[in-house]
Structure 1
């Protein structure tokens, strides 16, 4: 409920602060006194767009602040999702700066107008005679029926499953799109992968092949140098091993004359053995090394293949080629497996669709059962409001698609008179009839769910005294479970309020101010008497006013 409202520097309002209570609150005032200004200020704090021209003093900012009791509205999730501090007594503030910028705050946290508007929709429903388009909205019509049908729990389950279904549907579409694109690339990717799989891709392979290529390309030089080395070691006249043999014999004789000679002998012997081993290896390498044109050609082919693959794929080394091969392998494998994934995803979607259909069907069954109840309540209420022949024809037609409200489309038809054919509600009902229908529907809704604060702005315009009396009764009945405001010109309605505020203009020097005050019991009598008979209050008007107030 709305606990208090403060407005500074807005239109004809210099400073206004007023507190409200629960129940039925009446707001009256002469035409032009500023009731629309009050609603405009309230609209700003609920998320309406700001107009710089609304500033009373263009050099000072406008501040509008409203204090709400939100404990009954189950809004904790909304506050959490928008990273806001939840307070049972929530303060909303709107500022319009002289620069034209606008700022909004919820419990002192800055918010966007979108967030403010979402919260505002949950806190106050401002309804005037000209705001009846909601009646023709399919979602609003379903909301009314679902409230009576007690579908809230089912709709929560349905909503969760709808999200899951939509995710699966999106996943399947993604797989199908992938398959369509991947199939076009499959053959090309398979060809590239086959090329890379037949290539000898391993770390160091190019260095290894280049070494083999160099050896096979220079066989004659290698054999010649190996032979020369072997000859230098083994020549009978001047060979190194021949000289080392003589040196070994001499060192053996020296070894018997002391430890230092023995150590020298060991070193000479070690050098001899190493040279002898080198000689053997030179001999073996010379025997193994031979020309092999076929192997040379094979190695050259492998090198050229690797060089070409590096160039083709823009790779700087073998590691990058290996990474490209793995990537292509994944793409080809994914394309080959996507058919299986699509089949699995399709089966999953079909299962979820069946589950969703079952819940939607249960929701529809509940709606169908409650429609006669709703039609009866509407007809009876409208009969009391001067529409005795009004009747409704509400039809449910299965929809082709899942919506956030189920799988139904509503046909909400209306006939104002006996013998009249049923037609689209917004086309066949007059403005006054639409106002009474909306009031009736809101009253019915109030019996089944917690509604936000309701503010009726001259909804009773153009109706007779007796009908306005009935409309007042309905609003008064609604106020037993919720906060209801009525801005009215009719004394029959004004008399039914638990509290009564008057909006008026007051001239202070050359400046006109719009003000608002709560009326005392005596002041209410005077206000009602003026509403009944004008400024020149008669005794009969006062008596009538007292009678209306009971």
Structure 2
């Protein structure tokens, strides 16, 4: 429920603070006093609409889904709309978009003055019907869950089978392509690191002649080695360092000579051709490693194509088995629903009769499998589709559906907002609407604007909206003040004795 609402600087309102009760909350007041503006600002505070108020804020007891909206839920969550240069929206002081705030709020708040078809959606109507069935057939919920689980597996199997059948139609081309791609890499037979080794060989071969020529020239130093040793001996100097250096130089030259001797048998053309082959793979796949990974991937695909007939056979058998199971479970659900449907329609029409509406007809037809079965419910009012009935009829029909649903509620259903739902109704019609709202108020917090005494007298909390000069103000009325306001609604500004007595009787009768 909405526990508190605060509004600042919006049209004729300067500042409003409402501490709101559960149940049926009624707003009344003379025409033009600002009732619809106030209702609009409450909606705006939770992202339901836009307004130019400096601030509108609602403190609610709704439990937030932290995973979905990214905001941690408190015992009381504060929804806030601030308008300065632009509108900004907050939940618990965390900024978010209007759309995101509205998405959170619409789970808990519905504005029945709008022609919203959500209460007539198939899933909602089937939930009401199945809740009624559960009073007689407790296993209906287990049956629904069995169907949902089996249907999910059936739907997945159907999808996988279709994928295989689509692949099968182009299997020859896919197999040929995979085999061709594999052969291109197998023919080259690359080895990781081979390209680096070949490039090193190429580099060595390209400088072989120059290196050997320079070593041959440098070998002249060894012809004078004995002269250096003799000179060192004559000056009584140790010659070991020189001997070591010359031996090390000789070893380096010998190593280079051996390395180049090993390349004597290397075919330069073969090396260059091999490098080009490997370069071709690298240009296509990025690296030797990636080429080998691609070959492995294609090998797996080829194996899959080879085994596709086996997979298809197994899936087809599974699909056939699941088709039978889904069909049998759907038939059981349909049978239970068809049995309960006449009573569902009868009870709906009892509410509609009390609401002074024509009879409704509920039809059930078979549709494609979905998670709820194969049944689709639709409602028409005296043969007229919902899209074509008046807004007043639509909202009273919607109240009747909500009333049926509320019979099975064991928790708070959220907030309903109604703007003059009893407008242009007779006293009896208004009283019928009031009784249904009174029943709904056991499960919903209901905000309603009314110009009729019957509905006004049913409220558990009553706010008067009035003008003080040009400023709109609100006041929560006590019992005696409510009597005066109901009498004003009955007889106008000049309250008659009869109107006041009738208001008192009406209020006392409806607040027992």
Return the TM-score normalized by structure 2. 0.74
> Could you say which residue in structure 1 is the equivalent of 2:478?
520
Contact 1:491 1:532 in 2 (8 A): yes
Counterparts in 2 of 1:211-250, with a 5 A limit? Answer: none
User: Is 1:398 matched with 2:371?
Assistant: no
1:339 & 1:169 partners in 2: Cα distance? 21
In the other structure, the counterpart of 2:209 is: none
Distance between the aligned counterparts of 1:156 and 1:125, measured in 2? 29
- Residues 330-350 of structure 1 deviation map (CA, whole Å, 9 limit, x = unaligned): 214313314636525666666
**Alignment partner of 1:340 is 2:307:** yes
Q: Give yes or no for the alignment of 1:540 onto 2:498.
A: yes
SS of the residue 2:458 aligns to: coil
Residues 1:326 and 1:135: Cα distance change in structure 2 (over 3 Å): closer
1:185–1:40 distance in 2 versus 1, CA, 3 Å: same
Cα displacement (A) at 1:194: 2.4
* Aligned residue number for residue 212 of structure 2: none
In 2, the alpha carbon distance for the partners of 1:166 and 1:465 equals 54
Structure 1 residues 309 and 133 mapped into 2: Cα distance closer, same or farther (>3 Å)? same
Most deviating of 38-47 and 167-176 = 167-176
Cα distance in 1 for partners of 2:4, 2:200 equals: 88
1:445 aligns with 2:405: yes
* Contact 2:179/2:302 (8 A) holds in 1: no
* 1:342-385 Cα deviation digits (max 9, x unpaired): 52566666666666555554543443233222211122222223
Alpha-carbon contact 2:464-2:476 (below 8 Å) kept: yes
Tell me what 1:17 maps to: 17
Q: Residues 542 and 366 of structure 1: is their aligned pair in 2 closer, same or farther, counting only changes over 3 Å?
A: same
Q: Distance in 2 between matches of 1:394 and 1:50?
A: 37
The answer to whether the 8 Å contact 1:471/1:493 transfers is yes
Deviation of 1:423 (Å): 3.7
Which range is displaced more, 470-479 or 342-351? 342-351
Q: Secondary structure at the match of 1:448?
A: coil
Residue aligned with 1:41, SS: helix
CA-CA distance at 1:542 after TM superposition = 1.0
Given the alignment of the two structures, is residue 110 of structure 1 paired with residue 95 of structure 2, yes or no?
A: yes
* Shift, 1:386, TM fit: 2.7
Which residue does 2:68 correspond to in 1? 81
Given that residues 392 and 413 in structure 1 are in contact (C-alpha distance below 8 angstroms), is that contact kept between their aligned partners in structure 2? yes
Partner of residue 449 from structure 2, selected from 487, 504, 512: 487
User: Who is 2:185 aligned against?
Assistant: 196
Are 1:306 and 2:274 matched, yes or no? yes
The Cα of 1:530 is off from its aligned counterpart by 0.7
Q: 2:7–2:41: 8 Å Cα contact kept in structure 1?
A: yes
1:385-424 aligned at under 5 Å gives the runs 385-387=355-357, 390-402=358-370, 405-415=372-382, 422-424=383-385
Q: Is the 8 A contact 2:434 2:454 kept in 1?
A: yes
What is the CA-CA distance between 1:522 and the residue it aligns to?
1.4
8 Å Cα contact 2:158-2:319 kept in structure 1? yes
Does the aligned pair in 2 maintain the 1:24–1:485 contact within 8 Å? Answer: yes
Equivalent residue for 2:85? 99
Q: Is the 8 A contact 1:495 1:528 kept in 2?
A: yes
How far apart in 2 are the matches of 1:91 and 1:154? 41
1:68 aligned residue: 60
SS in structure 1 opposite 2:424?
coil
Given that residues 500 and 518 in structure 1 are in contact (C-alpha distance below 8 angstroms), is that contact kept between their aligned partners in structure 2?
yes
Kindly indicate whether the alpha-carbon contact (under 8 Å) linking 1:199 and 1:305 is maintained by their aligned counterparts in 2: no
Residues 161 and 124 of structure 1: CA distance in aligned 2, closer, same or farther (over 3 Å): farther
Distance 1:63 1:407 in 2: 48
| 2:354 aligns with one of 378, 381, 384 | 384
Aligned to 2:45: 45
Deviations 1:431-452 (A, max 9, x none): 4433322222211111112422
- CA-atom RMSD, angstroms? 4.0
Matched residues, number: 444
Question: Aligned-pair distance for 1:16?
Answer: 0.7
Runs of 5+ consecutive residues of structure 2 not aligned to the other structure: 135-139, 206-261
What do the CA deviations read for 1:145-185 (whole angstroms, capped 9, x no partner)? 34434566766676666666666666666666777778545
Output the CA distance in 1 between the equivalents of 2:164 and 2:377.
35
Q: Distance in 1 between matches of 2:124 and 2:74?
A: 29
CA, structure 1 residues 21+48, in 2 after alignment: closer, same or farther (shift >3 Å)? closer
Q: 1:14 to 1:148 in 2, by over 3 A?
A: farther
Contact 1:26 1:501 survives alignment (8 Å): yes
**Cα separation, partners in 2 of 1:178 and 1:446, compared to 1, 3 Å:** same
Residues 397-445 of structure 1: CA distance to partner in whole angstroms, max 9, x if unpaired? 221242x544332232331xxxxxx342433x44443332222221111
Residues in 2 aligned to 1:113 and 1:391: alpha-carbon distance in whole angstroms: 40
Residue 94 of structure 1: how far off its partner (Å): 1.9
1:499 aligns with 2:499: no
Greater mean deviation of Cα atoms: 472-481 or 175-184: 175-184
Q: Distance in 2 between matches of 1:132 and 1:494?
A: 25
CA pair 115-209 structure 1, distance change in 2 beyond 3 A:
closer
**Residue in 1 that maps onto 2:291:** 324
Q: Residues of 2 paired with 1:15 and 1:183: CA distance?
A: 76
- The answer to whether the Cα contact below 8 Å between 2:422 and 2:450 also exists between their aligned partners in 1 is yes
- Corresponding residue SS for 2:377: strand
Residue segments in structure 1 that go unaligned for 5+ positions in a row: 56-61, 216-288, 416-421
Cross-structure match for 2:220: none
| 3-state DSSP of counterpart to 1:125 | strand
1:50 Cα offset (Å): 2.6
**Taking structure 1 as the reference length, what is the TM-score of the superposition?**
0.69
Cα distance in structure 2, aligned partners of 1:164 and 1:92 = 41
